[in-house]
Chains A and B, each alone.
Chain A
Amino acid sequence: MERVKVEAVTYAYRTKYQTIQALTEVSCTFEAAKMYAVVGESGSGKSTLLSLLAGLDLPAEGDILVEGESLRKMNRDHYRRDVVSVVYQAFHLFPLLTALENVSYPMELKGMGKKQARERARQLIAQVGLGDKICRQFPRMMSGGEQQRVAIARALASEGKILLADEPTGNLDTENEQNIVDILKKAAHDRGYTVIVITHNPEVAKEADCVYRMRDGRLEREERGA
């Protein structure tokens, strides 16, 4: 079942001095209950694609359809809150909130009771392999790997059907990496999420059901085993 359809999307960053063409006519589809990997060189436009999928901006040209509906016509606030969840390359945790507060934030935002949200957040933090003592720490006191996993926990907390992760294992050791990959795979296969993972790591890419390769802002499907 086709959940996300990207149709000839083009996107450019415009600064005062230059325009950087980040995506050029990217088309692809993502189905439910599958895990995708997007690979490619640094600067090829992976994160940009992910951001557009996350609804942080609209493509300059082309369109993104989610379950047949265009992002352009959707209330993107609701889309971001209820449909999609993201693990950013730079984590983007709230610096003034503790790990626990960061993770429970999306749940509280959706109206869950504070106590319940905390309870669930604790579970998620444990699930991504972090100890209980991390809960009360602020992001700036955590290691990169810890921050990354808190960010994953937060993404899982929002329970969006589309889970986007930008280098979710970049800072992790193999053991933790495998744990995260398992979590993501489970989310796709057991709970029907569409999981899209950007990665440099061939090990991670190997675990995906499907791999896309980004090259200079263009996307192509990578054949299995190649």
Chain B
Amino acid sequence: MMILCKSLLRMRRTPVRTVLFFLLVAMAAALLSTGGGLWKMCRDNMIYFESLFQTIATVEQKPVRIVKEQAWDWEKEKYTTYNSKEYGETIPLSVLDFEGADYISGPETRAWYAAYVPDYLVLDRNAGVSNAMVVEVSPVEDGIPAGPLKVEIKNMLYSYYPYNSPTFYFCDHDNPSPEMMYADKTYILCLWDGLRHGWRGSDPGPNEFVPWREIWSTQAAADGTQIPHTLSGHYMAEVTPGFYETKEGRQWQALAEELEMGYWKSVPVTATGNTNLIPMFYEGNTFLEQGRGFIPEDYSEGRKVCLVSRRFARRNEMKVGDILHLPLRYANYAESANVGGEGKLTADGEVYQVFEDGYWEICGIYDVVPGARTKGWAYQLDENEIFIPKTSIEHDDGGNIAAAGCMKGYTTSFEIPNGTIDHWKSLWEEQGIDGLEITFYDKGYSVLEDGIKRMKRMALILLVAGAVSAVCILIFFCHMFITKQSTRTAIERSLGLSKGQCTASLLSGILLIVLCGCILGSAAGYYGSETAAGQITQVERFDRQYSAGALYTTEDVEETTYMLVGNWQVGAVTGSLVAVLAAGIALTMIHKSLRKEPLALLSGREE
């Protein structure tokens, strides 16, 4: 105690030196704690942003050329030309699997599955429906359907068309050379009210029906290649006695059946390995209305959970936790789920049979942000679209692929770690594969990352400067307080102070000043880094803007905002480090100065 008092007394009697020491130590501690705080903040922010941001890319095969195609139009009585994209050989998804490519999820080409759900309400009862039908007709009079030709309904195989007339007009609108139809014959047709000739604005006129689907199959094998088929390709056939005994007759029946099952009684079920890969989800155009999104375990364990649209859930009075029965009939890898895809027949001209008869629990109900903009209609979701983890499908869909085609931006995507776009691109270029258009999305992560990296560098400079100055200051002042005072130490020794007591005497004063300095400096540094954090909040607002509608972050955002304030722990750590460093340097010097016997110093010769 007495030793401590004397030590402090001495400090008090050299106020300039003591105060200078104190201030310099405080400054070094402040530098360290500002730098450390800033650095920690940058790191925390990176982690935070990492959880908030994803980098995905969509993949689309480029058309090899655009070709002009012609179509006859009986209304204008001339050919109209339109552009059609011609794709070369289909590039398989496997080209994206190359050495060094580090995917978080994907790459995947998503399929949507037609689930046959006759017990659920798929469309609003009074919604405008597709006025399609499969019908047997006879012309009222012989005639060529190169313009509206009045026909009489003989037998309706499939229709939801609310007709109340036994006749309607048929026009083989796009066929430049339609054949004569005879009143004494019966024809089967697949039609819809294209309203081409008949479309005269408000003038009701006769409603014109035009050909719609033909007997056709786009069935593909498991590897995506088309399965050759021998279907007729007809959208019109003559019904003769025993027609339905024939192959073609049965195919017409299958088409009617397929349409019946498809449009009114099916929902598209999209299977994915990560909802973030779906542009509508990624861009924050959807939000979770109830329940939760998919969690990693859903994917990894193949849990039978699903996300349903708000409309579908409302229509069927479903809530989170309800079990959906979803018998999956066929997969469509080529088209967007919102196109409907009706009338798909197998290569044998039959209706697809259920290959996966499963039950999925609703884990969340999502909705689409009103007015959400997407890259195009194909990117939009079907109003009944249901999402399931890809792994939750137990049976192979390889025998039930109704359509496959080249990769499209809305079917194919992958996720890579944030900040690795350039790396991925350079590796991709080495692959030398042409013909794919890869578009990256990172929600501005790269810009943010740059800023944070710059700040991290600043933090590092502060840290280094702080560390260097701390060491210099401590060495200099320890020298002043210890080595320069070896005579005092020798006198103390001559008066009988033990080495331990001398150490305490020297150390206590230095440590006290260092501690005070560290506390002040670290506190100052804490506020310093908080001020610096002000710059980040700008960045933070920016990222909230991006994530406002994101599926998983509607609530998380509020919670995580305050991650961005400085934290006092860093100051405490850097402060303690300085103190420990001071103790280390001081002890080394004390040890050195006590090693000598006091005689030499006191024997009459001043140094």
- The yes or no answer to B371 lying at the interface (CB within 8 A) is no
| Contact partners of B13 in chain A: CB under 8 A | 96, 138
Rounded to whole angstroms, the CA-CA distance of A116 and B301 in the bound complex is: 83
Among B487, B496, B599, point to the contact of A57 (Cβ < 8 A).
B599
Rounded to whole angstroms, the CA-CA distance of A58 and B602 in the bound complex is: 14
A67-95 vs B, Cβ < 8 Å mask (1 yes, 0 no): 00000000001111110001011101111
Among B487, B488, B493, point to the contact of A80 (Cβ < 8 A).
B493
Residues B488 and A88 in contact, CB atoms below 8 Å apart: no
Rounded to whole angstroms, the CA-CA distance of A137 and B597 in the bound complex is: 30
B471-503 vs A, Cβ < 8 Å mask (1 yes, 0 no): 000000000000000011011011111110000
B1-41 vs A, Cβ < 8 Å mask (1 yes, 0 no): 01000100110011000000000000000000000000000
- On whether A80 and B494 interact (CB within 8 A), knowing A13-B600, A51-B602, A92-B602, the answer reads yes
- The yes or no answer to B124 lying at the interface (CB within 8 A) is no
- On whether A56 and B599 interact (CB within 8 A), knowing A78-B496, A80-B493, A96-B9, the answer reads yes
Rounded to whole angstroms, the CA-CA distance of A90 and B6 in the bound complex is: 22
User: In the complex, how many angstroms separate the beta carbon of A24 from the nearest chain B beta carbon?
Assistant: 17
Rounded to whole angstroms, the CA-CA distance of A106 and B6 in the bound complex is: 12
Residues A82 and B603 in contact, CB atoms below 8 Å apart: no
B315-341 vs A, Cβ < 8 Å mask (1 yes, 0 no): 000000000000000000000000000
- The yes or no answer to A48 lying at the interface (CB within 8 A) is yes
Between-chain CB contacts (< 8 Å), 16 pairs? A51-B603, A54-B494, A56-B599, A57-B598, A58-B597, A77-B497, A79-B496, A80-B493, A92-B487, A94-B491, A96-B9, A97-B6, A101-B6, A105-B6, A109-B495, A114-B2
- On whether A105 and B495 interact (CB within 8 A), knowing A47-B604, A51-B602, A90-B604, the answer reads yes
* Residues of B in contact with A, size category: 20 to 34
Beta-carbon nearest neighbor of B600 in chain A: A13
Residues B604 and A95 in contact, CB atoms below 8 Å apart: no
- The yes or no answer to A147 lying at the interface (CB within 8 A) is no
Main secondary structure of the interface of B (DSSP, over half): helix
* Further 20 A-B residue pairs, CB within 8 A, beyond A80-B494, A81-B497, A90-B604: A13-B603, A51-B603, A56-B490, A56-B493, A56-B597, A56-B602, A57-B598, A57-B599, A80-B493, A82-B496, A88-B602, A97-B6, A101-B9, A105-B495, A106-B495, A106-B496, A109-B2, A114-B2, A138-B13, A158-B496
- The yes or no answer to A108 lying at the interface (CB within 8 A) is yes
B446-494 residues with Cβ-Cβ distance < 8 A to A are: 487-488, 490-491, 493-494
| Contact partners of B487 in chain A: CB under 8 A | 92
- The yes or no answer to A52 lying at the interface (CB within 8 A) is yes
Residues B606 and A52 in contact, CB atoms below 8 Å apart: no
- The yes or no answer to A146 lying at the interface (CB within 8 A) is no
Beta-carbon nearest neighbor of A85 in chain B: B495
- The yes or no answer to A166 lying at the interface (CB within 8 A) is yes
